[in-house]
Structure 1
């Protein structure tokens, strides 16, 4: 008897916000296609070959004219699908497999959780450490599309994870962390060079840490 919770029996889309991730996005797309034919990459004003590489790998690609931030890219990707369940992935993941996606998807489609949040385990010291220190900022998540669409200011946040986490708490949603063994991310310092990468990381954390001050009301 077919599994009613299998991706084939459900409406599932993988959405991947991406900014200048031509070196890694194809691998993430290919894993996503193993789960569902609905894989959407939103190229956030990339000035490299991110869009072309993702399209060649089999993704549906939405191209934003300007770099508006991850929230804008995520919102654009959601506009491109009407799937009931959304798997959110970063475009710079390493070591990702189909099993990891199934681990995150199953507790949501079964009704056990409203959102699962993937955290790295064994993918590399720096990425493991950062992910475990701030697991609520992970970009690897699964939830229903209509719930994600209800997050206030989702498309306005350069980094939308704090807004999503805040909405989880304010709505009383059921959520939990799911370990993703051997998954990591390419460090910004490696992608952009040490100083440019360090500056990008500083800006990212400054934006993340000032979220509450900027959004005093939901």
Structure 2
């Protein structure tokens, strides 16, 4: 594997002060280049991330995961990036290696992580919609070229479309004993369900926006 200096971990985060420090601590076992993008957080996410040793990009308003991810990619010049959700529980160096190694070896252009054995709810959800996983590794320059990356609130459909259109090599890799905090846990059941429903509706609208020309290539 290449030296850690050529790898950055980018973590978009919205109101994740409770979990983001442990994600950062695990990421720093691989590289010191850890970038957390606080996406208009109203809690102590930015402060917690700084205290844990990350570089922080603090966006003034909640623009969505796509714009946050795009800002994080521009905050580093690393050759490879690992993308992580900020609400992971149980993240270890082994998970990071599982994501990164096939990309650095040249076996894959993107590795997409799916949970295995972390808990029924997160395993089930991740297995049902693995293409929506926030745990990925790839070359930074390829990801920056994904059309709509900076404009989509949830960028995973745009990334999936780009993977299929470009013909790059990608595959799922298992991340054992890893889970994330469910939205219903963080926000309360009904608020979590409402948030999740809104998220899925926005994701389902990606194809319609693309056909209407609203999902367009981004400019640096």
- TM-score bracket, shorter-length normalisation: over 0.9
Residue in structure 2 matched with residue 21 of structure 1 by the alignment: 16
Instruction: State the distance in 2 between where 1:141 and 1:193 align.
Output: 28
Residue in structure 1 matched with residue 195 of structure 2 by the alignment: 200
Residue in structure 2 matched with residue 62 of structure 1 by the alignment: 57
Residue in structure 2 matched with residue 172 of structure 1 by the alignment: 167
Unmatched segments (≥5 aa) in structure 1:
none
CA contact 1:42–1:77 (8 Å) conserved in 2: yes
CA contact 1:7–1:35 (8 Å) conserved in 2: no
Normalised by the length of structure 2, the TM-score is 0.95
Matched, 1:129 2:130: no
Instruction: State the distance in 2 between where 1:164 and 1:18 align.
Output: 19
Q: Equivalent residue of 1:34, what SS?
A: coil
Instruction: State the distance in 1 between where 2:160 and 2:178 align.
Output: 22
Instruction: State the distance in 2 between where 1:190 and 1:7 align.
Output: 38
Aligned residue pairs total 213
Residue in structure 2 matched with residue 72 of structure 1 by the alignment: 67
Kindly state the Cα deviation for residue 6 of structure 1 after the two structures are TM-superposed: 3.9
Larger CA deviation: 206-215 vs 98-107:
206-215
The aligned runs of 1:10-159 (5 Å cut-off) are: 11-159=6-154
Q: 1:155 to 1:14 in 2, by over 3 A?
A: same
Instruction: State the distance in 2 between where 1:44 and 1:7 align.
Output: 29
Q: Equivalent residue of 1:100, what SS?
A: helix
Q: RMSD of the alignment, in Å?
A: 1.0
Q: Equivalent residue of 2:85, what SS?
A: coil
Consecutive aligned runs of 4 or more in structure 1 exceeding 6 Å deviation: none
Kindly state the Cα deviation for residue 7 of structure 1 after the two structures are TM-superposed: 3.8
Larger CA deviation: 194-203 vs 61-70:
194-203
